[in-house]
Amino acid sequence: MTGALHVLTDAAKLVWSSSRRLLLIRLALAAAAGAVPIGIAWSTKVVLDGIAPSTRGAAWTALRSVLVLALLGVLGVVLPRLVSYVDRQLMRVVGLEVRSRLYAAVAGMKGLTRLENPQFNDRLRLATDLGPTGPSQLVGSCLSVVQSGLTIGGFIGALLYLNPWMVLVVALAAVPTVRAEIGLARRRAGTMWELSAANRRELFYADLLTSLTAAKELRLFGLGNLFGTRMLTELRRINDGSRRMDLRELASQGLLAVLGAVVAGAGLVWAVLAARAGALTVGDVAIFVAAVNGVQAGLSAAISSVARAHESTLTFDHVRYVVRTAAEPPSPTQPHRPAATSRLAPLRHGIELRDVWFRYRDGLPWVLLGVDLFLPAGRSTALVGINGAGKSTLVKLLCGLYEPTRGSIHWDGSDLRELPVDEVRRRIGAVFQDFMEYELTAAESIGLGDLTRWGDRHQIEAAARRAGCHDMVAALPSGYDTMLTRIYTDLADRNDPGTGVVLSGGQSQRIALARALLRQDCDLLILDEPSAGLDAAAEYEVHRRLRDHSRDKTSLLISHRLSAVRDADTIVVLREGTVVEQGAHDQLLAAGGPYAELFTLQAAGYRTEPSDLTGVV
Ligand code: ADP
Ligand code: MG
Kindly report, residue by residue over 365-405, the tens digit of the pLDDT: 999 999 999 999 999 999 998 888 999 999 999 999 999 99
Instruction: Output the CA–CA distances (angstroms, integers) from residue 516 to 34, 232, 421, in the order listed.
Output: 62, 46, 18
Q: Is 391 in the pocket of ligand 1 (CB under 6 A)?
A: yes
Distance 194 CA to ligand 2 centre (A): 40
| CA gap 170, 263 in Å, rounded | 9
Which ligand number lies closest to the CA of residue 528? 2
Q: Three-state DSSP class for 117?
A: coil
Residue nearest to atom 11 of ligand 1 (CA): 388
pLDDT of residue 474: 94
**CA–centroid distance, residue 504 to ligand 2 (Å):** 20
Q: What is the DSSP letter of 579?
A: E
Check residue 385 and give its pLDDT. 87
Which of 367, 560, 576 is the pocket-test mutation for ligand 1 (most atoms within 8 Å of CB)? 367
The response to whether residue 560 sits with its C-beta less than 6 Å from ligand 1 reads no
CA–CA separation, 522 and 429 (whole Å): 6
Task: For residue 401, give the 3-state DSSP assignment.
Answer: coil
The ligand that comes nearest to the alpha carbon of residue 402 is: 1
List pLDDT tens digits, range 522-580. 889 998 986 566 777 777 777 777 777 766 789 999 988 887 888 889 999 999 999 99
Closest Cα to atom 12 of ligand 1: 367
CA dihedral sign, ordered 39, 40, 45, 51? positive
Cβ atoms < 10 Å from Cβ of 198: 18
Q: How far apart are CA 329 and CA 481, in angstroms?
A: 41
**How much is the pTM?**
0.75
pLDDT attached to residue 285: 87
Does the beta carbon of 429 sit less than 6 angstroms from any atom of ligand 1? no
| 395 in Cβ contact with 430 (< 8 Å) | yes
SS3 (DSSP) at 5: helix
Q: Which atom of ligand 1 is nearest to the CA of 394?
A: 6
Q: Is the CB of 385 under 6 A from ligand 1?
A: yes
Q: Which residues make beta-bridge pairs with 524?
A: 428, 554
Our CA angle for 474, 480, 481, nearest 5°, is 135
Q: Could you report the average pLDDT of every consecutive run of 10 residues in the chain (617 residues)?
A: 80 91 94 91 84 62 82 92 93 92 89 83 84 88 91 87 77 74 76 78 89 85 91 94 89 80 83 87 86 82 83 86 82 52 79 95 93 93 90 93 93 90 89 88 93 91 92 92 74 60 86 90 86 71 74 84 85 93 92 87 61 41
Write the Ramachandran bin of 69: left for phi over 0, alpha for psi from -120 to 50, otherwise beta: alpha
List 429's β-bridge partners, or say none.
525
How many angstroms does the Cα of residue 393 sit away from the middle of ligand 1? 6
DSSP 404: -
Q: For residues 382 and 431, give the distance between their C-alpha atoms in angstroms, rounded to a whole number.
A: 14
Closest ligand 1 atom to residue 387 Cα is 4
Q: How far is the CA of 400 from the centre of ligand 1 (A)?
A: 16
* Helix 282-327, helix 164-210: angle, nearest 10: 40
Q: What is the 3-state secondary structure (H, E, C) of 220-257?
A: HCCCHHHHHHHHHHHHHHHHHHHHHHHHHHHHHHHHHH
Q: Are 138 and 11 in contact (CB under 8 A)?
A: yes
Closest-lying ligand 1 atom to the alpha carbon of residue 361: 25
3-state secondary structure 279-292: CCCHHHHHHHHHHH
- Residue of 360, 432, 565 with the most ligand 1 atoms within 8 Å of its CB, for mutation: 360
387 lines ligand 1 (CB under 6 A): yes
Q: Is the CB of 405 under 6 A from ligand 1?
A: no
Distance 398 CA to ligand 1 centre (A): 15
Q: Is the CB of 395 under 6 A from ligand 1?
A: no
Atom of ligand 1 minimally distant from the CA of 390 = 6
43 close to ligand 1 (CB < 6 Angstrom): no
Which residues have CB under 8 Å from 218's CB, separation 6+?
208, 209, 224, 227
- With beta carbons less than 8 A apart as the criterion, state whether 580 and 617 touch: no
pLDDT at position 437, please?
A: 86
**Rounded to 5 degrees, what are φ and ψ at 524?**
-125, 125
Q: What is the C-alpha separation between 376 and 552, in angstroms, rounded?
A: 11
3-state secondary structure 66-94: HHHHHHHHHHHHHHHHHHHHHHHHHHHHH
How much is the CA Rg of the chain, to the nearest whole Å?
A: 36
Handedness of CA 464, 468, 469, 471 (dihedral sign): positive
For ligand 1, say whether the CB of 389 is within 6 Å of any of its atoms.
yes
Per-residue H/E/C for 491-514: HHHCCCCCCEECCCHHHHHHHHHH
CA of 528 from ligand 2 middle (Å) equals: 7
Q: What is the DSSP letter of 577?
A: T
Question: For residue 553, with 0-12 CB atoms within 10 Å meaning exposed, 13-18 middle and 19 or more buried, which class applies?
Answer: buried
On whether the CB atoms of residues 288 and 172 are closer than 8 A, the answer is no
Picking from 471, 443, 440, 467, the residue whose alpha carbon sits closest to that of residue 455 is 443
What are the two backbone dihedrals, phi and then psi, of residue 46, each rounded to the nearest 5 degrees?
Answer: -65, -40
For residue 559, the surrounding DSSP H or E stretch is strand 554-559
Closest ligand to residue 390's CA: 1
What confidence score (pLDDT) does residue 532 get? 61
Give the ligand with the smallest distance to the CA of 434: 2
Instruction: Please say whether the dihedral angle defined by the alpha carbons of residues 330, 433, 127 and 93, taken in this order, is positive or negative.
Output: positive
Which ligand 1 atom is nearest residue 433's CA?
2
